[in-house]
């Protein structure tokens, strides 16, 4: 995952992410945010952050100690963050049962730990600091944007672990928003459809086009910059709170 923190009004942020996160970091930086990218891939995080005038910090989002240390470093270097974008995540394709037997529990647990527990870990550690900040216009102290997936609703064959983890992110969006309302911290979630991820980018162009044609409109893969644009709008629009937004071109996934 990654993170962003910065000085200056609402443009302050802390971001967790891969390529959707990178696009969001670039979009936030373009609007004046000081950006910190938190990721296990520290060198990549530092490279992108340097381009944006921010910092890259190694972080395991599922570890309390790692996440605490990372957020503390962001605060010390760039100032207390007011924006958290959670994009860290892993996916596996594995059926509940197969010719090899039952779905390995350790693999299921790992997906839940990173995608769901990791998201909540970053939320709680960010929020406990943000609620101590001086309120901005309208009493707002911070904004959290999580990443789910259309798999939370339309989980395909082999997505038991992934869909459960993303369904958990969707399920906690409203209660966490209600928990943090008294502190002026908003919480929303984006549920992307089929996007041009590094995994999909490695497929032949014909395969990418075929996947894109499954999207009603526009009939193409989503671009990370479109995720970044929505994340920035959530930050800027104070009435968006407690909501999960499907960013998917109206696709509804088939079983396979």
Write down how long the chain is.
256
Question: At 192, which helix (H) or strand (E)?
Answer: strand 185-192
CA dihedral 198, 227, 229, 208 (to 10 degrees): 60
pLDDT for res 47: 95
- Average pLDDT of the chain to the nearest whole number: 92
pLDDT for res 1: 44
The answer to whether residue 193 scores a pLDDT higher than 60 is yes
Using CB atoms within 10 Å of the CB of residue 256, give its burial: 0 to 12 exposed, 13 to 18 middle, 19+ buried. exposed
Q: Taking each helix axis from N to C terminus, what angle separates 19-30 and 224-236, rounded to the nearest 10 degrees?
A: 50
Q: Is 57 helix (H, G, I), strand (E, B) or coil?
A: strand
The answer to whether residue 247 scores a pLDDT higher than 50 is yes
- pLDDT category at 18 given cuts 50, 70, 90 is very low
Mean pLDDT confidence for 191-208: 84
In the block, residue with structure tokens 């992410």: 17
- pLDDT tens string 65-95: 999 999 999 999 999 999 999 999 999 999 9
Determine if the pTM surpasses 0.75.
yes
Q: Which residues are catalytic?
A: 162
The answer to whether residue 108 scores a pLDDT higher than 50 is yes
Q: Which residues are CB-contacts of 117 (< 8 A; sequence separation ≥ 6)? A: 62
Residue 62 CA to residue 16 CA, distance in Å, equals 12
Mean pLDDT confidence for 33-62: 96
For the chain, first and last CA: distance in Å?
28
Closest to 167 in 3D by CA, of 145, 189, 144: 189
Residue 89 CA to residue 81 CA, distance in Å, equals 21
- pLDDT category at 11 given cuts 50, 70, 90 is very low
* C-beta of residue 35 within 8 angstroms of C-beta of residue 4: yes
pLDDT for res 206: 87
- pLDDT tens string 124-150: 999 999 999 999 999 999 999 999 999
Helix, strand, coil share of the chain (percent; to 5)? 50, 15, 35
- pLDDT category at 223 given cuts 50, 70, 90 is very high
- pLDDT tens string 20-36: 999 999 999 999 999 99
Answer positive or negative: Cα dihedral of 78, 80, 83, 87: positive
């Amino acid at each position: 995952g990654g993170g962003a923190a910065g000085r200056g009004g609402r443009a302050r942020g802390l971001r967790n992410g891969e390529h959707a996160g990178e696009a969001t970091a670039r979009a936030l930086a373009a609007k004046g945010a000081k950006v910190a990218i938190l990721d296990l891939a520290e060198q990549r995080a530092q490279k992108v952050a340097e381009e944006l005038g921010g910092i890259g910090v190694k972080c395991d989002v599922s570890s309390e100690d790692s996440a605490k240390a990372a957020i503390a470093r962001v605060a010390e270097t760039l100032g207390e963050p007011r924006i958290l974008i959670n994009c860290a995540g892993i996916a596996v394709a594995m059926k509940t049962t197969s010719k090899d037997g039952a779905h390995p529990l350790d693999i299921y647990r790992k997906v839940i730990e990173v995608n769901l527990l990791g998201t909540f870990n970053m939320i709680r550690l960010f929020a406990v600091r943000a609620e101590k900040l001086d309120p901005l216009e309208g009493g707002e102290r911070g904004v959290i944007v999580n990443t789910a997936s259309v798999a939370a609703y339309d989980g395909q064959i082999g997505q038991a672990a992934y869909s459960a983890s993303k369904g958990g992110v969707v399920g906690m969006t409203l209660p966490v928003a209600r928990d943090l309302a008294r502190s002026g911290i908003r919480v929303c979630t984006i549920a992307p459809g089929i996007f041009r991820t590094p995994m999909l980018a490695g497929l032949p162009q014909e395969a990418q086009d075929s996947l894109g044609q499954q999207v009603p409109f526009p009939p193409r893969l989503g671009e990370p910059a479109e995720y970044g644009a929505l994340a920035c709008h959530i930050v800027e629009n104070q009435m968006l709170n407690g909501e999960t937004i499907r960013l998917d071109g109206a696709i509804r996934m088939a079983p396979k």
